[in-house]
């Protein structure tokens, strides 16, 4: 992994001398960041959504499905809160970045996504992505309905090969839930974000090689399927009254089990990912959804087992599977 034999050699050295290296970084080892961007939540809004889909075909998007549109539901917020809670209860200092705060850097307003990643031993990010970048959204969050109406600044704060390669990362563990970020087949290593992270100093990088699935909503809705605030209200009530977070699905569920195995069971990254995958289908196989990518609206919920099968296999590890990152159990 990495760009060349030199990168591979450096990765081996960082793994062998890991304890000696992190001694120089003080409290860095106790830090984690959880980052969830924009445009990853969806609703099917009566009247508005069909009109938007029709408009897409008129302005040149080609044939379009009757699919939901980007619209807040609160799902990514609760994913963020749940993973932050997992780290906090295990003694970590957590840097949370939500929506545009998760950008690598800002334009007008200060954004901390890049800084938080550099200062964190454990990194989780959930954003839109491809093999050479992932990003938290348009700089001004202008494209709310997914019509391509962007300011042209969407790449300003992205985590892309061009910028990540020059970021002075420490030997962190990164789990990125974004489409295609882990893809390397048929590509030069220098064009792959996964390899840029390793080149920049990260010790273990987990990401998906295919298009990741996620429903983008909390509950189907009471009156209109795929629309409403009931899911958000119910999730908020359950958290306040019972301390219970909404269930996780797909990559977020894999990420949680992977992270917990590392910090609670002192597992290696290879074993933690294997264990998370072994737990995945028993936990998520029977969950049902109105849609998963491709976002085609359905009249009833389905188990989307084909998407779950892809999810099980698409997340891969770059780095030494025997690497055992620091956690409170070691001290």
- Inform me whether the pLDDT recorded for 249 exceeds 80: yes
- pLDDT score at 222: 66
The Cα 129–Cα 145 span in angstroms is 18
The number of beta carbons lying within 10 Å of the beta carbon of residue 277 is 16
DSSP 246: P
Give the domain 5-319 fold.
Answer: Rossmann fold (3.40.50)
Per-residue pLDDT reduced to its tens digit, 166-183: 999 999 999 999 989 999
pLDDT grade for 147, boundaries at 50, 70 and 90:
very low
Q: Where along the chain do its domains lie?
A: 5-319
pLDDT grade for 148, boundaries at 50, 70 and 90:
very low
Return the closest-CA partner of residue 79 out of 283, 312, 247, 290: 247
pLDDT grade for 215, boundaries at 50, 70 and 90:
confident
SS3 170: coil
Rounded to the nearest 10°, the torsion over CA 9, 330, 91, 177 is 30
- Inform me whether the pLDDT recorded for 149 exceeds 60: no
Average pLDDT over residues 6-35: 94
Average pLDDT over residues 3-10: 91
Which tops the pLDDT comparison, 128 or 260?
260
Average pLDDT over residues 281-288: 92
**Helix axes 305-314 and 269-284, enclosed angle (nearest 10):** 170
CA distance between the termini of the chain: 29
Beta strands in the chain (DSSP E): 31-36, 42-43, 69-70, 93-98, 122-126, 128-130, 133-135, 159-160, 173-177, 204-208, 315-319
**Which residues lie below 8 Å from residue 326, measured CB to CB, with a gap of 6+?**
18, 19, 22, 29, 121
Give CA separation, 53 vs 45, 57, 58, 67, in Å.
11, 7, 9, 7
Cis peptide before 289 (omega within 30 of 0): no
Return the closest-CA partner of residue 67 out of 233, 288, 231, 217: 217
Rounded to two decimals, the pTM is: 0.91
- Inform me whether the pLDDT recorded for 262 exceeds 80: yes
């Amino acid at each position: 992994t990495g760009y060349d034999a030199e990168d591979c050699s450096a990765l081996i050295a960082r793994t062998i001398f890991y304890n000696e290296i992190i001694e120089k970084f003080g409290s860095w080892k106790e830090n984690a960041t959880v980052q969830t961007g924009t445009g990853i939540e969806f609703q099917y809004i009566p009247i508005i959504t069909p009109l938007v889909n029709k408009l897409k075909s008129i302005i040149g998007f080609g044939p379009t499905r009757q699919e939901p549109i980007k619209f807040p539901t609160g799902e990514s917020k609760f994913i963020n809160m749940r993973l932050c809670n997992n780290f906090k209860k295990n003694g970590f200092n957590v840097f949370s970045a939500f929506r545009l705060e998760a950008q690598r850097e800002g334009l007008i307003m200060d954004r901390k996504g890049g800084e938080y990643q550099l200062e964190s031993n454990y990194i989780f990010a959930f954003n839109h992505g491809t093999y050479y970048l992932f990003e938290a959204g348009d700089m001004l969050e202008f494209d709310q309905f997914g019509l391509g109406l962007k300011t042209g600044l969407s790449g300003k704060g992205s985590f892309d090969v061009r910028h990540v390669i020059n970021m002075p990362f420490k030997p962190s563990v990164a789990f990125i839930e974004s489409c295609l970020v882990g893809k390397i087949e048929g590509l030069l290593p220098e064009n792959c974000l996964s390899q840029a992270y390793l080149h920049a100093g990260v010790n273990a990088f987990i990401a998906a090689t295919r298009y990741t699935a996620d429903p983008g909503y909390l509950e189907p809705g009471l009156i209109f399927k795929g629309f409403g605030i009931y899911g958000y209200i119910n999730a908020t009530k359950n958290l306040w009254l019972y301390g219970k977070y909404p269930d996780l699905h797909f990559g977020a569920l894999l990420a949680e089990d992977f992270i917990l195995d590392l910090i609670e069971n002192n597992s290696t990254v290879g074993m933690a990912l294997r264990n998370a995958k072994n737990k995945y289908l028993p936990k998520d196989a029977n969950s049902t959804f109105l849609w998963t990518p491709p976002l085609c609206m359905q009249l009833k919920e389905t188990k989307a087992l084909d998407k779950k099968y892809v999810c099980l296999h698409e997340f891969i590890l770059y780095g030494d599977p025997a690497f055992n990152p620091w956690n409170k159990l070691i001290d």
